[in-house]
Every structure is written in C-alpha cells, then in structure tokens.
Amino acid sequence: MVVTDMARPRILITGSGAVCGSGNSPAAIFDALCEGRSAVAPIEQWDTTDWPVKVAAEIADFNPRAMVEDRKLHKFIRRTDMLGLFAGSQAVDTAGFVGHRTTLAPDAAATYSDRSGVYVGSGGGAYNSQYEFFPLMTEADGDLVRFGEELSNVVNPMWLLRTLPNNVLCHLGIKYRLKGSNACITNHSCGGTLAVIEAAEALRTGEADRAVAVGHDTLIEPQMVLYYHACGLLAADTIRPFDAARDGSLFGEGAGALALETEQSAVKRNATVIGEVLAGGHAGEATGLLSIRDDGDGLARAIGEALHDARLGASDIGMIVAHGNGTRQSDASEATALRRVFGSAVPPIAAFKWSIGHLIAAAGIVETVVALHALKKRLVPGVATLRSLDPECADLPVSTKAQVPRGNVALVLCRGFAGTDTALIVRGA
C-alpha cells in the first residue's frame, strides 16, 4: 500500500543517457536485450592468447572523437572518462538544461548554474593507469636514482590529471557550467547507484534544484581480468544469471546518466518527464572484502530501507532489475533476499548483465536507465542465456521470454565488494 507524504519533495527524471557494448543509447541497449543480443565477444584491446579469460563486453570500434568532440581534452582523460562524459552529455542535452538557461536574464542564468549539481560514481581507476611506468621500471632494474632521473622523460606529465577519479565531474561541470553541489563517489559496483541516491537527496534537502548523476567504468584490462579470474569471479564464456550452470561474471564497459530535477524546477520550464526517483537504500554486511552472507541480509535490508523511504509496500514494485552477476553465491543469496522481502509474490525479474557485461561502477545506473525504458514499453526483457534455473533460484520469476511488469515502479539492485548493497526505486512516467 502506498503511503502518501505531501511534504516530501518529488524528484523527477527529465533526461537520460547510456553507452556500453550493447549500444550507445538507452533505446539501443534495450533493443539488444529484447532481441537476445549479447555484447560478450573476444577481447580486442590486447593479445589474450595466454590469458585465462579471453572474452568481455567491449565497445566495438571504440572512437574517442565520437565520445568527446574536444580533441584537446583527450590528452587529459581516460577511456572511462570519455564514456562518462558521453553519457552525462546525453542526459543534460535530452533534459534541455542549457536550452532553458539561454532564455533567462543574466542574473537568473547565473543562479540557474549555481543551483545545478553534478554527482558521479566511478570505479576508482584500473591498473592500466600504471602501465606507462613499467618499461622504465624494467630498464632501471631496481635503481631508484636512475628511475627518478628518467621518470619525467618517460611518463607523460599529464599522468596525474588523467588518473583523477573526478575527471567526469569536473569536465561535465565545465562543459555545461554546472556550478552547484557535487560529489565523486568511488564505491566499487555501487558507485553509480549511490550517485543517483546522493543527487536525489541533495535536491530533496534544497542543496540544488537540478543535478546530473553519472556512473562510469572501463575495467577490461589485463591485470584486472587476471586478478578477478584468480579470485574465481569470472565466467569461461558468458554470464548466466540464476542458471544452474552459471560459473561467474564477465566485465563490460560503459556509462549511464540521469538528469534529475525538483518538481518545481521541472514544472517551471515545462520539462518532459521520463520518470521519478522514489527512494534508495544502502547497507553493508561487514563480512570481508569478497565474502557475502548466504542469507542475503545486506541486500534485504537495503531493499527494506528503500521501500520505507519511498513509503511503498513490497506489492507496489512492478519489476525488479536483479544484480544477477552470474556468480554462484551472489545469485543464490540474492534469491534468498528477494524471498525475504517479497515472499511468494516476487514481481517479474530482469537481469541485464548477460547482454551488457558487468559494468562495475556503471552497472546500477545503466540498468536504471534501461529499466525506465522497460517501464515505458511495458516489457521486462528476458534472460537469453538462461537454460535451467538453479534449484536455489527455481521459484523466482526469471524467464528467457519477455514479461509484463505488474506496475510502473522498478527496483534496481546493485552489489559490490566488501558486502555493500544498494537498492534504488524509480517510477516510470
């Protein structure tokens, strides 16, 4: 049952953007899911001949100019930053923030910029940020004096600027003159979802009138693949959420973004509304860096917090976008958490990683963007890689075929290292 609270400010979604291996727009990614297409393919960024895992969901024919037009900026940012700027720009442009500001008087336009925030979730960087040091380390052969003397001749002086985790926040703000409240969140897989939650709370508490929330990550690089494989987290060929034969996850790369506004701001400029952020919840299990509880306690508590914050009951959820990363323990404990919250009445479940890969910091926000598209189309995409549901997950409404959501509210789940869990609830327009 919905409990209304007239004093609670509404946070509307007026723009979105997304890019990953399955497409460079929310509609394209949704179409790939509905058509059963996966971006998982042989890795092209390096020779994987002797690598234990040879596939990932890369963006094919990656073109930096298509992501960021300003060629001068390319020397200061990384691949992940380009994706974040691309998705963030999509969201700001589709929301029409800048177009409206041009209609305002100078003083009002300045205030508009001051009241426009940026919140970004990033993965905190990958090992490839260190690779240009390796040749000199080999050449110096442990001689630190020689290493120091030659460092400036070998390593790009822009190295530090390129590795900053807040590059997307800075350059998106500069591009669009978004000068208000801001935050950069580095919290593994939960980063993008937390950016949305933090942005929505900033708007509710009056810190800003509008904000763009972004999540981005590109972890397809040699050491990251090697180390995740050593931890037993990567699959051999594809991601099979909740399947009896599931054997792990696979990396993808991408970014997602949402443009958020207070209801007053959106109404004042007659903005097109594509959805609403209702609430978010976040919980930790505090069990260790890689371990998670079999009973799904952290995830269940995060969902409970989100439902309470949204003034909703479990029956008000129309569809769930599961974390569904394809690892045995995560999927099983996620199923347990869903039973704990929803009992025998779990709504239709989608799981997108089989198509787009695990986008880590970008996962939750990209999946939220796609969930809004699913609510608009009244269609919950199926899981094309599903063959036989694991007995531990057999009672879940997961299917290879598309389903119909039972309402216009979606719950998007995200899980990260150290037992961190987030739950985000959004309503379709």
Segment 203-245, tens digit of pLDDT = 999 999 999 999 999 999 999 999 999 999 999 999 999 999 9
Residues 339 and 360 both lie in one domain: yes
Q: What is the pLDDT of residue 251?
A: 97
Residue 6 counted as domain residue: no
* Average pLDDT over every residue of 272-290: 94
Residues 28 and 152 both lie in one domain: no
Residues 146 and 239 both lie in one domain: no
What confidence tens digit (pLDDT) does each residue in 385-413 have?
A: 999 999 999 999 999 999 999 999 999 99
The H or E element containing residue 353 is helix 353-356
Residues 140 and 221 both lie in one domain: no
Q: What is the pLDDT of residue 123?
A: 80
Residues 381 and 330 both lie in one domain: yes
* Average pLDDT over every residue of 105-118: 98
Q: Model pTM?
A: 0.95
Residues 333 and 424 both lie in one domain: yes
Tell me the percentage of the chain whose pLDDT exceeds 70: 99
Handedness of CA 230, 233, 235, 238 (dihedral sign): negative
Residues 34 and 114 both lie in one domain: yes
* Average pLDDT over every residue of 141-156: 92
Tokens of 166: 């807040």
Angle, vertex CA 169, rays to CA 18 and CA 99, nearest 5: 70
Return the exposure string of 15-50: e unless at least 16 CB atoms fall within 10 Å of the residue's CB, then b: bbbbbbbbbbbbeebbebbbeeebbbeebeeeebee
| Alpha-carbon dihedral 362, 289, 159, 90, rounded to 10 degrees | 10
Q: What is the pLDDT of residue 127?
A: 86
Residue 2 counted as domain residue: no
Residues 178 and 100 both lie in one domain: yes
Structural domain for 153, as ranges? 130-159
Residue 404 counted as domain residue: yes
Task: Scan for tokens 């700001």, then name that residue.
Answer: 92
Residue 221 counted as domain residue: yes
Measured between alpha carbons, how far is residue 345 from residues 241, 281, 294, 313, 342 in Å?
20, 21, 21, 12, 6
Q: Is the pLDDT reported for residue 5 higher than 90?
A: no
Residues 411 and 288 both lie in one domain: yes
Residue 341 counted as domain residue: yes
Q: What is the pLDDT of residue 156?
A: 86
Q: How many angstroms separate the CA atoms of 51 and 74, rounded?
A: 29
What confidence tens digit (pLDDT) does each residue in 165-179 have?
A: 999 999 999 999 999
Q: Is the pLDDT reported for residue 3 higher than 70?
A: no
Secondary structure of the chain: what % helix, strand, coil (to 5)?
40, 20, 35
Residues 119 and 136 both lie in one domain: no
Domain count, the chain: 2
* Average pLDDT over every residue of 351-378: 98
Residue 3 counted as domain residue: no
Q: How many angstroms separate the CA atoms of 334 and 276, rounded?
A: 25
Residue 5 counted as domain residue: no
Q: Is the pLDDT reported for residue 2 higher than 50?
A: no
Residue 4 counted as domain residue: no
Q: What is the mean pLDDT of the chain?
A: 95
Q: Is the pLDDT reported for residue 257 higher than 90?
A: yes
CA–centroid distance for 38 within its chain: 18
Q: What is the pLDDT of residue 4?
A: 46
CATH number of the domain where residue 216 is located: 3.40.47.10
Residues 374 and 396 both lie in one domain: yes
Q: Is the pLDDT reported for residue 51 higher than 80?
A: yes
At 160, the pLDDT band (50, 70, 90 cuts) reads: confident
Residues 354 and 382 both lie in one domain: yes
At 289, the pLDDT band (50, 70, 90 cuts) reads: confident
Q: What is the pLDDT of residue 126?
A: 80
